[in-house]
Amino acid sequence: MILKEQDGYEKFNETFSYLFNSYYNSIGERISQDSRGEITSSVEEVYAYRKHVNEGMVNLLSETSVDSVSDHVKNLVETGINHEQQHQELMYTDLKITLYKDPGLPVYDPTPHLLDNNSQDEQFWLKKEEGVYEIGHEGETFCYDNEKGRHKVYLQEFEISNQVVTTGEYLAFIQDGGYTKSALWLDAGWKWVTQNKITAPMYWIRKGDHWEQFTLTGLQNLNPNQKLSHVSFYEANAFATWKGMRLATEFEWEVASKDLNWGSCWEWTYSAYLPYPRFKIAAGSLGEYNGKFMINQMVLRGASKATSPNHSRKTYRNFFSAETQWQFSGIRLVK
């Protein structure tokens, strides 16, 4: 997006703009997401492409004074760096689901991995008072455009758990027939469960009378103390209903975040992904980064153990469709 606008820049490969265009319609034609595995470029060629682009960026930024770099380029560079951090996290999730689809269930890393999270603190409930609260990013530090438009919201009094749900707690939901009781599920969620024959979170494998879980360290016995992940919004909401509780809204989560132990998994909220007041879709290709996805998505807050260091903040708004399981997504309850 940056180098192609510079005089004298030569593209590494004309076809790469098509192959590696994830979702930017304004850039041109792109390969469909479900066909990305058909890309046949060699690893060596991809590394050469990366080297070519890196050298172009180093030359551009080292030969140009900071004051003469346009705000447009600065914005693209900063967003691009943060966007790459998002992809560093997605590499873990993509590798995990790819290995899971292999019948041999290969191991990514045999050593105890950073994604194995045990819940060790005692659970208690944090009460937040009724009132008007400020929501959204403030200050000059980086954020995505969907976090801007700081505004006031009114919240009723609520209590939120200091801990996310564990696998042991969720196993009790399964053992109580949670996936067979339609009354616990939203209508769309029940259709998803029945049509896809969902009986457990992604990566859970039943072996006789016990459960195992596929991890980046391979297949392991289910650890009841581990923090739950890889559940959809539908599953999170059904579990909350089974417990006689609910999920937090994204505003409740943000208000309570300073007092929460968060960062082990993305946490589903009961908030649709919608624009904040005064949100405007940016001009050019960056306008496709967030705004066009503000339909049929639910907001997740927090971060996961796969999130790059310093790439999390209390105002960060992640979002996925309600049936998504492959992300490191978990549950925090509100009553």
159-209 pLDDT, tens digit each: 999 999 999 999 999 999 999 999 999 999 999 999 999 999 999 999 998
How high is the mean pLDDT of the chain? 90
Mean pLDDT of 226-252: 97
Half-sphere exposure of 191 (CA within 13 A, CB side): 4
Whether 81 has a pLDDT exceeding 60, the answer reads yes
Mean pLDDT of 141-155: 95
Percentage of residues in the chain with pLDDT exceeding 70?
91
pTM: 0.90
Cα-based distances in Å from 201 to 72, 222, 230, 326:
43, 12, 6, 9
The model's confidence at residue 116, banded by pLDDT at 50, 70 and 90, is low
Which distant-in-sequence residues (6+ apart) come within 8 Å of 167 by Cβ? 213, 222, 223, 224, 225, 226, 227, 228
The model's confidence at residue 114, banded by pLDDT at 50, 70 and 90, is low
Specify the range with the lowest mean pLDDT, choosing from 28-37, 105-114, 237-246.
28-37
Residue-level pLDDT at 14: 82
How many helices (H) and strands (E) the chain has is answered by 7, 13
The model's confidence at residue 64, banded by pLDDT at 50, 70 and 90, is low
Report all structural domains of the chain as residue ranges with CATH numbers, in order of start.
3-69 (no CATH), 125-334 (3.90.1580.10)
Specify the range with the lowest mean pLDDT, choosing from 33-42, 135-144, 151-160.
33-42
What b-and-e string marks burial along 173-200, b requiring 16 or more CB atoms within 10 Å of the CB? bbeeebbeeeebbeeebbebbeeeebeb
The model's confidence at residue 88, banded by pLDDT at 50, 70 and 90, is very high
Q: Which pair of tokens denotes residue 233?
A: 């919004």
Mean pLDDT of 71-100: 90
The model's confidence at residue 35, banded by pLDDT at 50, 70 and 90, is low
Residue-level pLDDT at 335: 95
Query: The tokens 């290969």 sit on which residue?
Result: 106
Query: The tokens 């539908």 sit on which residue?
Result: 234
Mean pLDDT of 263-286: 89
Sign of the C-alpha dihedral computed for residues 40, 42, 47 and 53 taken in this order: negative
Whether 66 has a pLDDT exceeding 70, the answer reads no
Measured from the Cβ of residue 255, the count of other Cβ atoms closer than 10 Å reads: 22
Specify the range with the lowest mean pLDDT, choosing from 13-22, 54-63, 279-288.
279-288
Of 114, 127, 182, 192, the residue nearest 155 (C-alpha): 127
